[in-house]
Amino acid sequence: AQTVTQSQPEMSVQEAETVTLSCTYDTSESDYYLFWYKQPPSRQMILVIRQEAYKQQNATENRFSVNFQKAAKSFSLKISDSQLGDAAMYFCAYRSAHGGATNKLIFGTGTLLAVQP
């Protein structure tokens, strides 16, 4: 069974600085997708960024980028120029790409990010 591990329960960053959130996963599959979701105090789950395992290039979305290391099964999220609105719980998630699979997302336990003004 696949598992997702986020080893940092809480992180803190100064406004305008850069922070990296860690995520590792365990799978025997070669084809899959990885996601980072953000959950602000409103508790709405918001997709931040996604990565296809077959792509070597790291995904980037404005100030958000990932460092995807397939061999190491690592998928960290880098937030550049941190803003107060980035304060939230961040979840890393895994999804199998195999046909007939449940397509369910498997989540890590989350990292609570605080942004200091």
Partner 1 sequence: DGGITQSPKYLFRKEGQNVTLSCEQNLNHDAMYWYRQDPGQGLRLIYYSQIVNDFQKGDIAEGYSVSREKKESFPLTVTSAQKNPTAFYLCASTFRGPNNSPLHFGNGTRLTVT
Site for partner 1, residues 94 to 113, rule: CB under 8 A: 95-99, 101-105, 107-110
Q: State the number of binding residues for partner 1 (CB under 8 A).
A: 26
Binding region for partner 1 (CB under 8 A) out of 12-20, 30-38, 61-69, 70-78: 30-38
The secondary structure of the chain, three-state, reads CCEEECCCCEEEEECCCCEEECCEEECCCCCEEEEEEEECCCCCCEEEEEEECCCCCCCEECCEEEEEECCCCEEEEEECCCCHHHCEEEEEEEEECCCCCCCCCEECCCEEEEEEC
52 near partner 1, rule: CB under 8 A? yes
Tell me which DSSP letter residue 86 carries.
G
Binding region for partner 1 (CB under 8 A) out of 12-20, 38-46, 63-71, 76-84: 38-46
70 near partner 1, rule: CB under 8 A? no
CB 14 within 8 A of CB 87: no
Binding region for partner 1 (CB under 8 A) out of 11-19, 20-28, 35-43, 69-77: 35-43
What residue ranges bind partner 1 (CB under 8 A)? 9, 31, 33, 35, 42-45, 47, 50, 52, 91, 95-99, 101-105, 107-110
